[in-house]
Amino acid sequence: MIEFVNVTKTYKNGSIVAIKDVSFTIKKKEFVFVVGASGAGKSTLVKLMLREFLPNSGKIIIENFDVKKMSKRKIPFLRRNIGVVFQDFRLLPNKTVFENVSFAMEIIECSSKQIKKEVPKILELVGISNKSKMKPFELSGGEQQRVSLARAIVNNPKIVIADEPTGNLDFDTSFEIMSLLKQINKNGVTVIIVTHAQEFTAKMKKRLIKLENGSIVKDEI
């Protein structure tokens, strides 16, 4: 569960207001689009959820973490609840597809037995198991995004945040990625898609939170 209560975040000593008095709740297993033009405050929202920085005021609850009150030491454990997918994929260029995914398990200290068992399953799920030995530069954009999606879900997070996941992809590939995210959501994961691409939001008939100048102007299904 994600809960924002009257959250305000400003930059440069208050001269730039990124998010103004924003409140919303996202329940477990929900599928939500967060839309808005660039500068509307979408990225700030994501960064607040990941506890990259703290809000100036307001309360943020993510799963069982009170983001504002928790100690810095616990940040990694908050983030283990959240899988993140980026527009630019952020894969490690010198590691293979398999390694890029297993890396996520390694750093949260999983056993190699678990890794050997889980990674192929996830690669199968996102439909890229035949390329597990390739390096990212040998893959197309859509394939790279699949790997990054695999990495985001391999540790069974409760929430997946996709920040412009289709920003660099053509329509068909974007559609495939969206279907994958929908499937992940069906498996019981809360999915939040941050995007300015409106073509899917209408089609998919999911909850949509629209931001404008740091405030929510629309929140409907």
Partner 1 sequence: MKIKNIAYFISEAFRNIFSNGFMSLTSIFSVMISITIFGMFVVLNSNLDSFTKQIQDFCKIRVYFPRDLNEHYVEKAKKNIETINKVKNIELISKKKALEECKEKIFKGRYNLIKAFEYDNPLRDCYKVTLTNAKFVEEISKEIENIENVEEVKYEKNFINNILKLIIFLKYSSLVLVIFFGTISILIISNSIKIMLFIRRKEINIMKFIGATNWFIKWPYIIEGAVIGAIGSALACVLIFFGYSYIISHAKFLLEFTKFKTLNEIFSDTFLKLFYFGSGIGIIGSYISIKKYLHV
Extract the tokens encoding 216: 């929510």
Q: How far is the CB of 91 from partner 1 (least distance, A)?
A: 8
Q: What is the largest CA-CA distance in the chain?
A: 52
Minimal CA–CA distance to 219: which of 23, 17, 47, 21? 23
Q: How far is the CB of 221 from partner 1 (least distance, A)?
A: 29
Q: How far is the CB of 205 from partner 1 (least distance, A)?
A: 30
Give the residue with the Cβ less far from partner 1, 37 or 54: 54
Binding region for partner 1 (CB under 8 A): 50, 73, 76-80, 84, 90, 92, 103-104, 106-109, 111-112, 151, 155
Give the residue with the Cβ less far from partner 1, 108 or 202: 108
Q: How far is the CB of 112 from partner 1 (least distance, A)?
A: 7
- Rounded to an integer, what distance in angstroms lies between the CA atom of residue 52 and that of residue 27? 22
CB 37 within 8 A of CB 196: yes
Q: How far is CA 102 from CA 36, 105, 117, 120, 216, in A?
A: 34, 5, 10, 10, 38
Give the residue with the Cβ less far from partner 1, 104 or 209: 104
Can you name the residues that pair with 3 across neighbouring β-strands? Answer: 25, 61
Q: How far is the CB of 79 from partner 1 (least distance, A)?
A: 4
Give the residue with the Cβ less far from partner 1, 90 or 133: 90
CB 152 within 8 A of CB 184: no
Give the residue with the Cβ less far from partner 1, 30 or 99: 99
Q: How far is the CB of 108 from partner 1 (least distance, A)?
A: 6
Angle, alpha carbons 37-183-156 (nearest 5°): 95
Give the residue with the Cβ less far from partner 1, 41 or 136: 136
